[in-house]
Structure 1
Amino acid sequence: MWAGDEPRLAWLAYLSEAAERLAEAEGWSSDLRYQVAQTLQALVAGTLPGLAVKASDVDRLRGRGRNVTRARQVLRFLDLLDDDRPDRADAWLRERTKGLAPAIQMEIIAWAQALRSGGGRMRAKSDLTWRHYVADVVDAAHQWSERYGSLREVTRDDVITVLSAPRPGDGHNLVTALRSLFSFLKRDRRAFRNPTSRLPRRLTRRPVASIPQPLDRSVMDEIGVARESPTAWLVVVLAAHHALTPNPIRLLRLEHLDLTGRRMQVADQARFIDDLTLTALIDYLAYRQTRWPRTANPHLLLSQQTAHHDGPTSRWWVRHAARLRSATLDALRCDRILEEALAQGHRDPLHIAATFGLHPDTAQRYADAAFDTARA
């Protein structure tokens, strides 16, 4: 292959060496290594040695037995990737704000970009969160675009009118999004006042939460099926025994576990690892080591995709991994908290809050629900 073409051979060797370093660091499987090698060979055949490569040119190499995503990673690792692909999030944002008054559109785009990247006193939001914020605000912005050229003209009465109108869901998300938007505009000196300050309590109060309900005993049989899978069983134990939601479950890292000391760090709370949890963890860690012996991902739970990089799994993956048919992880968590509340023999929200790391108001709601249900 390319006999006598020393520059191209050297170019392939250089890329292959970088790929091997990444493969060792991230624990790529033999299949993935082969796919990357095939992609790099095709890349070298069609590019000039030593020059930066456009991401769009790499994407054109897609095909059976190739992996363009990891090939781009190799080039990015060597600072040889010219990422000329359009920003999908930016395209979505501009499409979502299309039709607004030009100044209002730019103000919302500036806010959304700050939500994405963070900075100043604003923490970066997840992709899902900032998109929801924008979607919540855009409908109101369309109404204001009919009368105003800029959001700095929006008044407190305009905000009250929007919040008073019927809308899907509990409506509190819109309050949060509008407060975030106008706080940003004032902080960035794009507006002189914040029309969301000192709003009537009736518009900003969270709706009354639903009353927690115990799990129907008829679904307990399907929980036993989860024992057949180390991954499913660990997820079920963390949700049904430790009352964790999918997000902290997916964010657990190996460094958070102290099996010898029987401690597990969940956010800023240390949890005791009992025998049930210890067995589930040991079984899963043995499976994890057998399945992905070379992975460098620091997170406890791995999927086929995340095993080859350092990010966590998704909330959807955690819910799907539990292999539950009718029950949900949220229902298992709720049932566990109610069980703990009843076990105290009296309403003790402080114990519930300390045990599961809940807000006192949430703990009170569970304590009340547990004893009201038992009395009924």
Structure 2
Amino acid sequence: MTAPALASERREQILGILGREGSARLSALAHRLGVTPVTVRRDVAQLAEQGLVQRVHGGVSLTSPARPGPAAASGEHESQGRRGQEVTTIGIVVPSMDYYYPGVLSGARAAAEEHGIRLVLGVSSYRIDEDRRQLQRLVEDIGVDAVLTAPAIDQPDGGELATWLTGLRTPVVLLERTPRRPTHHALLESVVTDHALGAGLAVEHLAGLGHRRIALASRTSPTTAALREGWEAGVRDLGLPEGPEVDLVTYNEPGSRESIDRALDALLDARSTAVLVHADPESIALLERCDERGISVPDDLSVIAYDDEVAAIAPQPITAVRPPRRTVGSTALRVAAERLADPDRPAQRVVLSPQLHARATTAPPRR
């Protein structure tokens, strides 16, 4: 079957560029030809099958003009086709390798191995400028075929970053991030945990044990707003009196101990008998302070942690809500792979449910 004229012309242009320059990156070819990297990758695959080009990491070059004798030519071209099959490369940019995202990365790595995809990592430290730098490195320098990223689009200047992401020719899948603008939703795929549902599960569990005044104590993070939404909805829907909401300082920052004391004072003043705490380290610090102040857990205060990174191995195993971190990573990898295979399909937004694991820190309130 004869290739469509447009594709044939595009492949002639690729051969012309390589004839003049010797080699080129796939991302640069896509930009120069005004097409997507997926389209260029297909064109290069066709040219490689014909023995006209050979693929190198992130790019392509002309096949060496040297030719073997006729008896070896067929086998050589067949071997060249196998060697020329380019491995799909997907970049992943996470804001931290200390907490939460190692689980996401683990899931993405497992799915990448299953699909025969190479994964390339970048770490951005929750900074917009670093998000953009890492993404540009992956897309422009390395020439990845798609990107998984958890950018700081929740920050004041995050809208500009989201707009920049929509302008990339490389497919983007957001990790645990939801764009604010509808147009961004339509262009950026995403895989997120329903954190509001997770907070609601905690409230329902505590209410089922008989707790009436359920508080929320949270450090500031991209998850905080969703937790507040779920906690407020759970309390309201169950007809419970409003418990206090208190802010915590991240456990390893100055003032964290004092913020735990302020939180406990607020809970006691409001006669709260249960609290949902974000995240695990803050929950462990709160339990330690309860022990020092003579507050019995769970008799005087039931505690649920949100994240379940290390809650199960705390000295007193903590009841916790666990987001599906590994599934977030593996699902995002599959969404990106499906996008590469079918560039014209509608954008996917996948929402995953967390799970609650009951342990030693929740019980009916003391009467």
For normalisation by structure 1, the TM-score amounts to 0.22
Is the helix fraction higher in 1 or 2?
A: 1
Is the strand fraction higher in 1 or 2?
A: 2
**Structure with the larger RCO, 1 or 2 (CA within 8 Å, 6+ apart):** 2
For normalisation by structure 2, the TM-score amounts to 0.22
